[in-house]
Amino acid sequence: MSNAKKIACLGGGSLYFPFALPDILLQQKLRGSELVLYDLAMEKAECVAAMGRRLAAEAGTGMTVRAAVTLADALDGTDYALSSIGGSGAEITPDVYSSYYHAADVRICAEFGVQQVVGDTCGPAGMMMGLRSIPAYLQICHEMEKYCPQAILLNHSNPMAPLCRAMRKYSGINVIGICHGVQGGIQHAGKLLNIPPHELSCTWIGTNHYYWFTSVKHRGVDVYPQLKARMAELWDSPTPQQMTHQLSRIYEHCFVYPQDDHIVEFYPFLTQSPTLDALPYQLANAAHSHGHDDTQPEPAVPGRVSAEDRSAFFEKYQAILDQTTLPDANTVTLNEDIGGMLSAFATGERHVCIVNVPNQGAIPNLPATALVEVEAVTDATGVRPLVMGEAPMLLKGILEKRFVWQELVADAGATGSRAAALQAMMVDEQAIWPDKAAALLDALLAASKDLLPQFAAAMK
C-alpha cells in the first residue's frame, strides 16, 4: 500500500522551508509524495521549489516538488498542509521582523512607552501580528473546507496560540501548532545538567513560548532539584537567560523555554523602561538582533522596494537556498520533527511529538479549549494530547490570564471587533493607561489598514 501523499507548503517562499523540506524529503514512508509550494510572492515559491527538486533528487525518495500559481491548486486533494505565514502580505523580506508592518508596530508601541523586543507572541505587537494573519489563515481554512476538508494543517507561524485558537474556533479544519521552544528548553536543561537532552524525561505545563517544567528525570532518577540548583547559581550571570533563571528561582519552577527576549514580553517590565536601550538583561541587544533599531531606516513601504534592493534581497535569498543540504538521517536531534509526524499520520503509527493543541484535559485544572503546548501521540487522524498533570496554583493563575488574551485576539482577528482588541490590550501584562491604550490601538490599526479588512468598519 502506497503512503504517497500531497503536502501543501503555504507561505512556501518563507525561509522556514529550507529547514522543513529536507526533513520531509528524507522520509522513506512518504515515498512518491508530492510537495506543492504556494506563496503570495510567486518568485520566492519558485526559488524554494527549485531547491526542493535538487534535494529530492539527492534524497532518492521519489518525491516531486513544484510551485502552485493558485491556492486552490495547492490545496485540491491535499492530505497535509504546512504553513509559515508571517502576516506581512507579499513583502519581499527575509522574515516578518524585517517587514514594514512589524517595524511600524514596534515604532508605534515605543512612541506610547511600550518597548517590544521580539513582538510575535504577546503584547501589542504580538496582537497585531495575529490580527493581520488571522484573516489569511481563515481564508486558507475555508478553502481547505472546500478542497480538502479531512486534511491536517500544521501551523508554524506566530503568534501560535491565537492563530491556532482562531482556526479551531472559526473553521472545521484540524489544526496543529508546531514549535521548537520546548525542545530548545530541554536542550538547555541537558546542558546545565551535563546530560544528553534526549535522555531526559520531562513533563511541563504552559502555552506556546511560556511554560515550566513540573518534573525532570534521567533514567528514572529525579534530577529536577539539581536543575533548580544550577539555575539558582546563575542568578547574576550575564546570559541571555538571566531573567528567566531569576524568575525560575522565585517561582520554584524552572522555565522550559529560557530565552529572556521571549519571556520578558509576558510581563509588565517593558512598559517600565524609558527607552529600548535602557532595558536590562541584554534585552536591548536581543531587540536589535530582531531588527529593532531606531538609528536605521525603516523598511520600505510595500510596493515601493527599489529594483536594486529587490535584486540584493534575491541574491542573499538564493545563497541561503543554495547552501541548504539534507540533514544526516542518523543524527539524534530534538527538533519539530515535521517529517516524523507526517510519516506517522500517513501510516497511522503511534509517534510521540510536541505540539500546540486544545488542552482537552491534558492539564486537568486548565480550560479544555485553551491552546497548550504538550506531548501528544499521533495516529492517522492527527494527535491526541498526553496527560501532563495539574498546573501548580501560581502557574495556573498566570496562564489563565494568558488564555483570556489569546481568546480575545482570536475573536478580534476573526470578527474585526475593536472592542475585543482593546480588551486584549488591557488584559495583557503590557497594558498602559486606558486612554493611551485606545489611541495606541487606533494608531496600530491605521498602520496596518491594508491587511486588516475585518476592521474596515471600525476604522471609518
Number of C-beta neighbours around residue 266 at 10 A? 23
What's the pLDDT score for residue 333? Answer: 58
- Higher per-residue pLDDT: 299 or 185: 185
Q: How confident is the model at residue 308 (pLDDT cuts 50, 70, 90)?
A: confident
Backbone angles phi, psi at 175, to 5 degrees: -110, 130
The per-residue pLDDT for 330 is: 63
Does the structure show a pLDDT above 80 at 301?
no
What is the distance between the alpha carbons of residues 366 and 72, in angstroms, rounded to a whole number? 38
Confidence tier at 305 by pLDDT (50, 70, 90): confident
Name the grid cell of 412. Answer: 478580534
Question: What does the block give as the cell for 396?
Answer: 495556573
How many CA atoms does the CB half-sphere of 74 hold within 13 Å? 30
Amino acid found at 420: A
Is the model's pLDDT at 271 over the cut of 80?
A: yes
Amino acid occupying residue 307:
A
Is the model's pLDDT at 1 over the cut of 70?
no
Q: Is the pLDDT of residue 291 over 80?
A: no
| Nine cell digits for residue 390 | 495539574
* The pLDDT of residue 60 is above 80: yes
- Could you give the percent of the chain with pLDDT greater than 70? 97
pLDDT at position 445 over 80: yes
* 218 strand-pairing partners: 200, 221
Torsion angle, CA of 62/66/70/75, rounded to 10 degrees? 20
pLDDT digits (tens, 9 = 90+) for 249-259: 999 999 999 89
Residue 244 zone, left/alpha/beta (φ > 0; ψ -120 to 50; rest): alpha
CA angle, corner 290, sides to 285 and 296, nearest 5? Answer: 85
Q: What rounded mean pLDDT belongs to the chain?
A: 94
Query: What tens digit of pLDDT does each residue of 339-388 get?
Result: 999 999 999 999 999 999 999 999 999 999 999 999 999 999 999 999 99
Going by pLDDT thresholds of 50, 70 and 90, the confidence category of residue 306 is confident
Q: How far apart are the C-alpha atoms of 59 and 53, rounded to whole Å?
A: 10
| Global confidence as pTM | 0.96
CA 79 to chain centre: 22
Is the pLDDT reported for residue 273 higher than 80?
yes
- Residue with more model confidence, 416 or 456: 416
Q: Which pLDDT score, from 0 to 100, does residue 118 have?
A: 94
Cell (9 digits) for 207? 502555552
What's the Cα-to-Cα distance from 278 to each of 236, 239, 245, rounded to whole Å?
Answer: 18, 17, 20
Q: Residue 334: its pLDDT value, please?
A: 58
Q: What is the pLDDT of residues 211-254, one digit of tens each?
A: 999 999 999 999 999 999 999 999 999 999 999 999 999 999 99
Residue 332 has pLDDT above 70, yes or no: no
Judge whether 76 and 46 are in contact, CB under 8 Å.
no
Residue 383 has which C-alpha cell? Answer: 494527535
| Cβ contact 174:144 at 8 Å | no
Map residue 82 onto helix, strand or coil: strand
Residue 312: other Cβ atoms inside 10 A:
11
Number of H helices, E strands in the chain: 16, 12
Q: Is residue 88 pLDDT above 80, yes or no?
A: no
Instruction: Name the residue among 79, 77, 82 with its Cα closest to residue 48.
Output: 82
- Size (the chain), residues: 460
Radius of gyration of the chain (CA): 21
Give residue 299's pLDDT.
74
| DSSP string across 361-407 | TSSTTS-TTSEEEEEEEEETTEEEEPP--PPPHHHHHHHHHHHHHHH
The whole-number average pLDDT for the span 264-292 is 90
User: All 3 cell numbers of residue 45?
Assistant: 515559491
Calculate what percentage of the chain has a pLDDT beyond 90.
85
Residue bearing the bigger pLDDT, 107 or 95: 107
Q: Give the pLDDT band (50/70/90) at residue 404.
A: very high
Q: Mean pLDDT throughout 408-428?
A: 98
Question: How far is Cα of residue 354 from the mean position of the Cα atoms in its chain?
Answer: 13
Average pLDDT (285-312) is 79
